[in-house]
Amino acid sequence: MQILAGLGNPGAKYANNRHNVGFMAADAIARRHSFSPWSKKFQAEVAEGRLGGDKVLLVKPQTFMNLSGQAVGEALRFYKLDPSAVTVLYDELDLVPGKIRVKVGGGSGGHNGIRSLDQHIGQNYRRVRIGVGHPGAKEMVHNHVLGDFSKADREWLEVLLDSIAGAADMLVKGDDSGFMNRVTLTLRDKLQPTGEDDTPPPKQKPAKAQSHIRQARPQQPTAKLPETGPMAAMLKKLLGKD
Q: For residue 84, report the phi and psi dihedrals to the nearest 5 degrees.
A: -65, -15
| Cβ atoms of residues 61 and 20 within 8 Å | no
| Cβ atoms of residues 9 and 20 within 8 Å | yes
d(CA 57, CA 71): 13
DSSP-assigned beta bridge partners for residue 130: 91, 100
Q: Give catalytic status of residue 212 as yes or no.
A: no
Given 19, 120, 144, 212, the catalytic residue: 19
d(CA 192, CA 185): 12
CA torsion sign for 208, 213, 216, 218 is positive
Q: For residue 240, report the phi and psi dihedrals to the nearest 5 degrees.
A: 70, 30
| Cβ atoms of residues 153 and 123 within 8 Å | no
- Residue 72's alpha-carbon distances to 46, 59, 131, 161, 225, in angstroms, are 10, 7, 22, 22, 42
List the catalytic residues.
19
